[in-house]
Structure 1
Amino acid sequence: MQSDIDAIWLTLKLALFTSVLLMLIATPLAWKLSRWQHKAKNLVLAVVALPLVLPPTVLGFYLLVVFSPNAVAGELWQLITGEQLAFSFAGLVIGSLIYSLPFAVQPLYASFLQLDNRYIDVARTMGMSKWSRFRRIIMPICKPAFMVALGLSFAHTVGEFGVVLMIGGNIPGETQVLSIALFEHVEAMEYGKAHALAFGLLVFSFLLMALLYRYNRNGVTAWKS
């Protein structure tokens, strides 16, 4: 029971860290892509969307190679922190950032593309700085997209399995998230415990998606009116 509670706490912490960091990364990236006109744009968009179609075990394997103490990134991390990056919470965060990146970028990118540039032009003629235009004009208009991106990133991180298993293993209290704990219960034929975790994840995912769709619908309706 305690191990399941630890797994719940670790999963929520990982999802919170990942979704907040993703918003800081995805927002400028999506904005730049929406305004960028270059022949390499489609290539960048393909790279960003790659985790959507790439098998999680493939991504997890190559991340594990990069995180290895024998690799430059893994060796540098170990020199700075004194700990290895693979099979650590920090490694889970980095892996989750990469794996969930398209779920944060795509809603924002689509919203920025649909943004009416007249609002930005008017704000520019009024002497507003770039940051003021973004904070006071763009963010309020695109607020539903921000909420969807945040919610999808959080939900996707909660449900991760393949990537976290490859780069984090199954260390209770360290890298054992809910999906791994559920898998362990099934392997041990503890179907009652597995059902409790699975049903909880099902209800959580359904409620979160229902709230996101409701909020996004209301946001769009309010904006059109």
Structure 2
Amino acid sequence: MRIAELSRQSGVPVPTIKYYLRENLLPPGELTSPTQARYDARHVQRLRLIRALVDLARLPIATIREVLREVDQPDPVLHYVLGRAMKSTLTPRGQVDPATLATAERAVDEMIARRGWRISAEAPARQAVAEVLATLTELGVGDLGDALDEYAEAAEQIAEADLAAVGTRENPEELVYAAVVGTIIGERLHSGLRRLAHENASAARFAPPAESALAEPC
């Protein structure tokens, strides 16, 4: 297909496609003349992945280039490909008291050790969780963090379900695309399900028996 058809199938404007070509994010097409190239379904798939990384993950071009470099390795290790993509979607905020944060970081490290999780030292999520715990402490509800292990157990089940859903994809591009979309859009799914579960738990715990079925939404 020509670049105009590639644009139509992918939904990406021609000038943007040319920009991705210049930035080496999109492999060049097969030259059919000095000024013309032919593209195929692989280019459509790559554009879909790039747009997910740009629009959903909101990654800078330099980071996207690193992710795609991992994807394009001759024999990519899917764990590392997925790790590169997912680590890039979460950036710690760094807006809490350093002393409180240090205490929270120790709590997170201890939880990771207790559960035997294999987590890299530079994982942004480690810092993000610590910042949440520190913020809870600063807001006077640090006891909510006492249930960290229970939350971690639920997170394990969610992670297993997530990766089971995307793990059937052996193509690295398809795996990264599904993981990025599933993780970012899935956050809304998890949040919605949690609120439904909160309403149910609230009705069971706090509502009078005769009113529990008609409880106001949480």
Tell me the TM-score normalised to structure 1 length.
0.27
Higher-Rg structure is 2
RCO (CA 8 Å, sep 6+): is it higher in 1 or 2?
1
The structure with the greater share of residues assigned to helix is 1
